[in-house]
Structure 1
């Protein structure tokens, strides 16, 4: 019998792919979809054009698990089960896994991870665009270790440079486009002993715009550009202590200023640099965004429209910063909604550019301490409680899966955070004397719900787990396998210089 089976298998293999259509499963949708995917892959052509434009999309904290949440959320909002939904970047032809560790940190920080992508070398925890001999917080090690950024190289090549973020423009990831500092937290000031040798990040942004190495900067963080009460672009209080009005300085050097949706739309699409500061700190979560505040997609559209006027092309880094913040707060639902906006911005950028000359890279700087609980049946709401697997049909049974304590649990879980079930007692110890709290589906699906976690921390932590990278356009095929994060710079640089 064994020999007969082996002979049959050998004959099927020798017959080639055509015989696959004769298999009993050939009429299954899963089978035909798999064959269609195979045909697509067989027809794939490598794009070796020189890249005119490079767009680097970074969803802060959007690792594989966070991306999965966003996929499920988007698919279920469209009426599907979620797992078979395809986000725009998930249809990109090239894929790699990225190692995110820092020189001195197994679990990375956003500043050196973004810096690695913008300079081609890994960096130390909490620093931006300075070499491995620079020490966090020691400004005497800064000047001698400053690195050349991809944005500076693109400026030398005559290209426009832009940074778009839903976080503060002076925050770690967008700052990596233009700033060099031994401390990512020096957003509006530096220590007194560093005043003669270091510049705060907001000052570096305005200096970069004046020098022509940053043409478009759109995001939050207005408080770091102003001094005094009521003096920011949105009427808030400035955090600067040096008396400077950086917005006025920028305007004096020909930089156009936007502060809401109307002024962004009215801003010129011509050569004048554009600085948009739409909130005092981070911009709103997408779920809470007021109508007069632009979305991530709105800012991306403006940036691409404006920089596309440069016949030499552009480099644009786009950060969806608040995915990270929602995860830190163990507020999975807001992370999902911001993840959907990130995907919408990617789709828009893809539509506005040409695959023939634009390299688009979608990745994350790091993952979070997040995981998906099981065993859940298909169609279980990703923002809710886990429903059991049905024995018949496709969708879940409608019965909640119960843990050993007899209580249900959410699909999304975090390892640590402020919403721990362990409560601090009078003696300073942490216990859960009444066990894990009960939770209803309505509570779990509330926008403000924070997931139950075990380890108590004031803020949920990052994770050192690899993140995914999706790419399309010139030289995107160079992303393959498992790569170091600093390798991203090298592919971008090769793509714009290819002969």
Structure 2
């Protein structure tokens, strides 16, 4: 394509889009009405300014918000906005502006409502499994040690596929590194709780615990960066008070020290660290392997950390250090980053803890996007399952998402919180003369960390929810997420995007596909088969494009700036309306 033709094509395309964002729209007497109109037109123009990215993904980063169902995601979005002094409803979490999104069905082979182990096996390995099992197929039922030892029942994950293709790999989590989500990357176990040998019991006799598999088996032992909690499961606990609270090793082995010894003996430069200060000091240029364990069990909830603490790094800090380490690889990398404690906050009927964890993951995603080239990096954000959290009607616009609705029930005359659960420890009712009475939330501080949102069914721990979860994507092949999919589809998309695993020898793009990047040397299966067209988007500039799926980054920046201004105005408008029984109809 000649320079003149490129210019003509660009001008023709821009002239078609610009009228959508110009002033040639109906005149509205109300400024607010005008802004809502402009926002809608701006969104259409932005959607038109998107192309499909067919490149081979050199890198893949998957962010997993454990338990971050649609409702939790919405609550976190509002909470984020309100922390920034806005109404909250009009804003977005970082991933909500990705160009593609879809829904995922989360059920397990044997359960309508899933757990985190089998869901992780699905989206990381491409095969659905039985509840509470890791890295095995449906032939292995929960707790069946004998069946799990049969290698024919094992399923490999994106971690193994990436390593086989020469990519570097990393794991970052706020949970134990042996917990369900990360363990599905490297372990084959019929029981997610067999994190250390002290949990195997009689049923697990002869099976290898998850921590041991991480340190001594492939692909776990080949992971370049491992950051999270879980020292105790590895026999490296530092807090005597935590002994016996999670998973105490019976073999007296310190697997963290074994890991360090193995790497050193192999001629590698390796570091084992336990504090945030240690993490900051790591010289990634001169470090081949990094193991950071920052808690004996799970890492603390963000909202419970004391200001100025230096023992525990943030999810953002861990993710950035991992990317810094992994970017050294010429063959690219795969990285899993889990905001794992969103789930734990919801199990406690503590939405305050949960939304803080989700907003912390939002910061991590935003920071990571600045460190990668989205022309060659596929970034996914999703959840493994939902929770039984609901957002109740009808609080006013901008009402504290952690507060009460301001409306009284027309049955018992009592108020209620915006966020509630159908199960969990927040059950708080009394009965008198066969009449049920609930507590008066106006007499309580619903933001207090010890406050538990009301639950309908009493349980010591809230349960998961069975509805679909969302997946948001940007980068190479992100457009493959386009409707309601089975959850195991995620692994197949990652493999196809990066040309690894099941797609290593068959990831040909359609003849109509165009490219702006060549594949890496070991994975450029397209080389010699199709011509890479670097002129298909001649004005691409990765330095100025927020998400390089935009055809024209300059226009996209104008659209983004207009959106920011509109949302700021809408987010600061006071909104309230009188309670009406009509709302109940």
- TM-score (normalizing by structure 2): 0.76
Match of residue 418 from structure 2: 411
Give CA deviations for 1:239-262 in whole Å, capped at 9, x if unaligned.
Answer: 101121111111111242110101
Give CA deviations for 1:449-471 in whole Å, capped at 9, x if unaligned.
Answer: 11011111111000101111110
Instruction: Provide the aligned C-alpha RMSD in A.
Output: 2.2
Asked if 1 retains the 8 angstrom alpha-carbon contact of 2:408 and 2:416, the reply is: yes
Distance 2:470 2:255 in 1: 37
Residue in structure 1 matching 2:237, options 228, 232, 240: 232
Per mean C-alpha deviation after superposition, the further-off stretch among 99-108 and 289-298 is 289-298
Give CA deviations for 1:301-357 in whole Å, capped at 9, x if unaligned.
Answer: 111111111111111111111110010000011111111001111111111111111
Asked if 2 retains the 8 angstrom alpha-carbon contact of 1:422 and 1:454, the reply is: no
How much does 1:421 deviate?
A: 2.3
Residue in structure 2 matching 1:342, options 361, 368, 372: 361
Give CA deviations for 1:406-454 in whole Å, capped at 9, x if unaligned.
Answer: 111100010011110246x9xxxx9986601112276112232110111
Distance 1:211 1:412 in 2: 39
Distance 1:258 1:17, change over 3 A: closer
Distance 2:279 2:202 in 1: 36
Distance 1:322 1:19 in 2: 45
Match of residue 266 from structure 2: none
Match of residue 58 from structure 2: 52
Asked if 2 retains the 8 angstrom alpha-carbon contact of 1:403 and 1:409, the reply is: no
Match of residue 142 from structure 1: 148
Distance 2:74 2:381 in 1: 14
Distance 2:435 2:373 in 1: 59
Distance 1:431 1:62, change over 3 A: farther
Distance 1:441 1:308, change over 3 A: farther
The answer to whether structure 1 residue 221 and structure 2 residue 230 are counterparts is: yes
Match of residue 391 from structure 2: 372
Asked if 2 retains the 8 angstrom alpha-carbon contact of 1:188 and 1:225, the reply is: yes
**Superposition map of 1:322-361 within 5 A:** 322-361=341-380
SS of the residue 1:443 aligns to: coil
SS of the residue 2:472 aligns to: strand
Residue in structure 1 matching 2:339, options 317, 320, 324: 320
Give CA deviations for 1:51-74 in whole Å, capped at 9, x if unaligned.
Answer: 011011111100000001110100
SS of the residue 1:375 aligns to: coil
Per mean C-alpha deviation after superposition, the further-off stretch among 129-138 and 187-196 is 187-196
Match of residue 293 from structure 2: 277
Match of residue 118 from structure 1: 124
The answer to whether structure 1 residue 170 and structure 2 residue 178 are counterparts is: yes
Distance 1:431 1:225 in 2: 54
How much does 1:195 deviate?
A: 3.9
Distance 1:172 1:194 in 2: 17
Match of residue 200 from structure 1: 209
Asked if 2 retains the 8 angstrom alpha-carbon contact of 1:422 and 1:455, the reply is: no
The answer to whether structure 1 residue 252 and structure 2 residue 261 are counterparts is: yes
Distance 1:65 1:467, change over 3 A: same
Distance 1:25 1:124, change over 3 A: farther
Residue in structure 1 matching 2:26, options 10, 23, 27: 23
The answer to whether structure 1 residue 307 and structure 2 residue 346 are counterparts is: no
The answer to whether structure 1 residue 477 and structure 2 residue 516 are counterparts is: no
Asked if 2 retains the 8 angstrom alpha-carbon contact of 1:222 and 1:234, the reply is: no
Distance 1:402 1:206, change over 3 A: same
SS of the residue 1:275 aligns to: strand
SS of the residue 1:107 aligns to: coil
**Superposition map of 1:146-161 within 5 A:** 146-161=154-169
Match of residue 427 from structure 2: 420
The answer to whether structure 1 residue 41 and structure 2 residue 50 are counterparts is: no
Asked if 2 retains the 8 angstrom alpha-carbon contact of 1:25 and 1:31, the reply is: no
Asked if 1 retains the 8 angstrom alpha-carbon contact of 2:225 and 2:290, the reply is: yes
Asked if 2 retains the 8 angstrom alpha-carbon contact of 1:209 and 1:273, the reply is: no
Distance 1:192 1:128 in 2: 19
Residue in structure 2 matching 1:265, options 243, 265, 280: 280
SS of the residue 1:343 aligns to: helix
Asked if 1 retains the 8 angstrom alpha-carbon contact of 2:20 and 2:45, the reply is: no
Distance 1:204 1:172, change over 3 A: same
SS of the residue 1:176 aligns to: helix
Distance 1:477 1:444 in 2: 41
Match of residue 16 from structure 2: none
SS of the residue 1:435 aligns to: strand
How much does 1:17 deviate?
A: 7.1
Distance 1:45 1:403 in 2: 51
Distance 1:213 1:251 in 2: 12
The answer to whether structure 1 residue 191 and structure 2 residue 194 are counterparts is: no
Distance 1:63 1:211 in 2: 29
Asked if 1 retains the 8 angstrom alpha-carbon contact of 2:143 and 2:204, the reply is: no
SS of the residue 2:139 aligns to: coil
How much does 1:360 deviate?
A: 0.4
SS of the residue 1:340 aligns to: helix
Distance 1:358 1:22, change over 3 A: closer
Asked if 1 retains the 8 angstrom alpha-carbon contact of 2:136 and 2:148, the reply is: yes
Distance 1:211 1:311 in 2: 21
Distance 2:367 2:21 in 1: 39
Asked if 2 retains the 8 angstrom alpha-carbon contact of 1:233 and 1:259, the reply is: no
Distance 1:471 1:180 in 2: 28
